[in-house]
Amino acid sequence: MIKHLALLVVIFTLILAVPASAAEPGKGIIEGQIVNGTEGGGSVANQEITLKTYLNNAEVDSTTTLTDAEGRFAFNELSTETDYGYEVTLTFQEAEYNNEWLTFDNGEATKFTVVTVYDSTASDEAIRVELVHTIIYVESGSLRVEEYLLFTNEADRTFIGS
């Protein structure tokens, strides 16, 4: 009896000592939610979400799904190999949005991301020029002048005007 108990303890200890295996390549899941950052903003239900798949930084595939009533979505059966990357994109009220680059770490099978969108506006009253740089290049027989402007949007709406 003691031998059997000792054998069970040894087997249990060996099982615990075995490192966790990596997630299977086709078992990855990316879940997320679209959140409207505009106070009192519009619904994010039934928004078409695209997942772009990249292999070694080259786009190889894309698939789409729709958000539920709370803006949630999921993409299943994704490769978890480290040379794959993913990007969630959508168009909301004529403005394009995307999330940060997503990859699976070794052993990881699920990622979660939030993409914040804003109601759009054609009004430019909240758009300000924050910073201006003028650069003058002296070239053979001429001057080339370039101007760079940094704009800020002080509203909780995305400007889509012309």
DSSP string of 89-106?
EEEETTEEEE---B-PPT
Percent of the chain predicted with pLDDT > 70: 85
- Are the CB atoms for 38 and 156 separated by under 8 Å? yes
Domains and CATH numbers, the chain: 16-118 (2.60.40.10), 127-159 (no CATH)
- What tokens appear for 123 in the block? 């009004």
Instruction: Count CA atoms closer than 13 A to 106's CA, side-chain side.
Output: 3
Run of H or E residues at 61? strand 58-66
pLDDT digits (tens, 9 = 90+) for 53-70: 999 999 999 999 999 999
Residue 114: predicted pLDDT = 96
- Are the CB atoms for 129 and 149 separated by under 8 Å? yes
pLDDT digits (tens, 9 = 90+) for 5-30: 444 444 545 444 444 444 455 789 99
Residue 22: predicted pLDDT = 45
Strands of the 72-78 sheet, one edge to the other: 72-78, 28-36, 110-117
Question: Cα torsion for 49, 22, 106, 27, to the nearest 10°?
Answer: 0
Question: What is the Cα–Cα distance from 22 to 98, expressed in whole angstroms?
Answer: 28
